[in-house]
Amino acid sequence: MNSGLRFLGLAVVLALAGCGSGSNTNATPPPPAGANSAAATDGEYIAPDSKGVQTITVSESPIPDYLELPAHIEPDPTHVVRVFAPAGGRIVEMKVRPWDHVEKGATLALLDSSDLARAVADYHKARVDNEVKQKALARANDLYDHHAIAEKDFQQAQGDAQMSQAEVDAAREQIKVFGMDPDRATNQLRVAAPRTGIVLDIGAASGEFSTALAAAQPLCTIADISEIWAMGDMYEKDYTAAKPGEAAQVTLNAYPGQHWAGRVSVVSGEVDATTHTLHLRVVLPNPDGRIKPAMFGSIRILRSSANGILVPASAVIREGNHSYVYIGKGNNRYQRRDVTLGRTVDGSMEVVSGLLAGDIIVSEGALLLRSAEQS
């Protein structure tokens, strides 16, 4: 009986040992609590939220090489008029203010002018004298026809009449130079706008005295800015890239994201001795007047073009001196790949090495993968 009990006990022990050995061989332990869903498998990562990840297929495309020049805006000097009073006098009223738009012939200022008053008086005296001389000529002509005076007296009357008429004409022209109607002029001088344009600045105020063309500065300066110049400076080494006639693109700090197309009008014929640069001009139409003198911007000229790979800047992650992208492997799996970058072109980045045409990369959401990889 004792031997039977010992045999039964041994059988139970062996059975329990056999069950424990099978559990260790076939069962897989469950993942630890809180394990990340983007776990690495041979360098591949599963996106924790695939909704935020977008991919594109890489392809080769022409990559332009631009010459970028800082630029500033100037009006065409031949369209800028510095307005001086044609005669001296006291300024009664300035009719314009800086940045007013004026039409040709509009009143800019009114002056009480002794010069104009003197010219008007000379004109009226010349007219009176001319009337007397014309009547004397008529009498002399009648007398000469009746052989009542000598020929020399008749010729003298003719000469006096011609001289008096010339004095009237000269006096009229003097008043016209002042911009006034000779038959309606008074001592108040009206200074008119010589052309349509924008008033850039004012150089006088009501109550001041103007010394006409000898004044230190003009009453005002008017510029026609319907056509404007974008001026840039380039170094000698870039001279061959900016020949006259080359297409150019102008951007302005005042209008981000906008550009104006034009062509290089002229390149200066000599190097600036101070900056050692060449001046370059691009002429731009400006019918709405949005481009203002003294604005800053840049001029872009295409220097060359070559095929390469461009990717969105959002696809590239930089860490120190290293840059990488994520390659799509299918089934929401992505793999990190180091790349070498080149130039930045309009918000995209040139990839010099690390990618081939046809590769699928993450264009949006790369930071999600980076966060999952590091967690």
Q: State the Cα–Cα distance between residues 259 and 77, nearest whole angstrom.
A: 24
pLDDT digits (tens, 9 = 90+) for 176-226: 988 888 888 888 999 999 999 999 999 989 888 887 777 778 999 999 999
**Predicted confidence band of residue 373 (pLDDT cuts 50, 70, 90):** low
Higher pLDDT, 61 or 1: 61
Q: What's the pLDDT at 110?
A: 94
Tokens for 309? 């790979």
365: left (phi over 0), alpha (psi -120 to 50) or beta: left
The confidence score (pLDDT) of residue 112 equals 92
Query: Over pLDDT 70: what percentage of the chain?
Result: 85
Count how many Cα atoms sit within 13 Å of the Cα of residue 347 in the half-sphere of its side chain.
Answer: 4
Is 231 within 8 Å of 216 (Cβ atoms)? no
Partners of 279 in the beta sheet?
Answer: 233
Domains and CATH numbers, the chain: 44-64+306-374 (2.40.420.20), 68-77+225-304 (2.40.30.170), 79-113+187-223 (2.40.50.100), 115-186 (1.10.287.470)
- Residue 13 pLDDT > 50, yes or no? no
Residue 7 has pLDDT above 90, yes or no: no
How confident is the model over 186-197, as pLDDT tens digits? 889 999 999 999
In order, the DSSP letters of 97-151 are: -TT-EE-TT-EEEEEE-HHHHHHHHHHHHHHHHHHHHHHHHHHHHHHHHTT-S-H
Helix axes 114-145, 151-177, angle to 10 degrees: 160
pLDDT of residue 98: 92
pLDDT in tens, 50-99: 667 788 888 888 888 888 999 999 999 999 999 999 888 899 999 999 99
| Sign of the torsion angle spanned by Cα atoms 362, 366, 370, 375 | negative
| pTM (whole model) above 0.85 | no
> Residue 11 pLDDT more than 50?
no
Q: What is the pLDDT of residues 117-157, one digit of tens each?
A: 899 999 999 999 999 999 999 999 999 888 889 999 999 99
